Structure 1
Amino acid sequence: MKEIKAIFRPSRLWAVIQELQGIEGLPGLTVSDIRGIGKGLNKGSRGGSEIFELSPRVKLEVVVNEELVDRVVDAIQRQSHTGNTGDGKIFVSSVDQTVKIRTNERGPQAI
């Protein structure tokens, strides 16, 4: 099992979700509104002092079986890409265990 976390522009969220809905076997996903600073460190000034501006982004998280990883990553990359600085990042990590709280089901079938 793998966890895919993607951080990208909020304006691309619905395009990403629409493409992900076309992937058979994809379980549910979680989306959070977040703010962050990337490598570019958006600088502004307020009251004569320099500040760093936090850019709004969304974080999409989904846990999938290994065979879906490339399809999910490709779909997110394709639909979140604008070609501009700040498009975001996709992270893929291993998941050791999944437990469905309602049923206590464990492992890949609990996704």
Structure 2
Amino acid sequence: MKEIRAYIQPHKLNQLTLALMEIPDFPGMSVMDCEGFGRERTEHIQDYKPFLAKKRIEIFAPEHLVETIFQTVMKVARSGHHGDGKVYIVEAVAGGRISTGERDADLG
């Protein structure tokens, strides 16, 4: 199992959600508001604040879905402008469902 973690422009969330839900057996996702900055910077001198609003998406997926989900995020979240975001694939070592006691491979 892997985690796909993406930081995207807030206005791309609805379009991305619909595209991900089209993937057969899509496992679901969590979405959080976050702020941060990378190489792009805001140029406001007065009340300067370098942090830009983003949406953080976390998806834990079985190995056979990782590439499809990754490519979907890359395609749908892209506007072609600087600051579109980032996508990471992270190894998930272990996991469990609290309500049932299921662990690791039983999760999907």
Q: Identify the TM-score tier after normalising by the shorter chain.
A: over 0.9
Give the equivalent residue in structure 2 for 1:33. Answer: 33
Instruction: Give the aligned length.
Output: 108
Q: Is the 8 A contact 1:3 1:64 kept in 2?
A: yes
TM-score by length of 2: 0.93
Give the equivalent residue in structure 1 for 2:81. Answer: 84
- What secondary structure is seen at the aligned counterpart in 2 of 1:78? helix
Instruction: State the superposition RMSD in angstroms.
Output: 1.3
TM-score by length of 1: 0.91
- What secondary structure is seen at the aligned counterpart in 1 of 2:44? strand
1:21 partner letter = M
Task: Describe the superposition over 1:51-80 as per-residue Cα deviations: whole angstroms up to 9, x where unpaired.
Answer: 333111101100001110110011111110
Structure 1 residue runs of 4 or more that deviate by more than 6 Å after TM superposition? none
1:38 partner letter = G
Structure 1, unpaired ranges of 5+: none
CA distance in 2, matches of 1:95, 1:69: 12
- Greater shift, 89-98 or 51-60, is seen at 51-60
Identity %: 26
Q: Is the 8 A contact 1:43 1:52 kept in 2?
A: no
2:33 partner letter = D
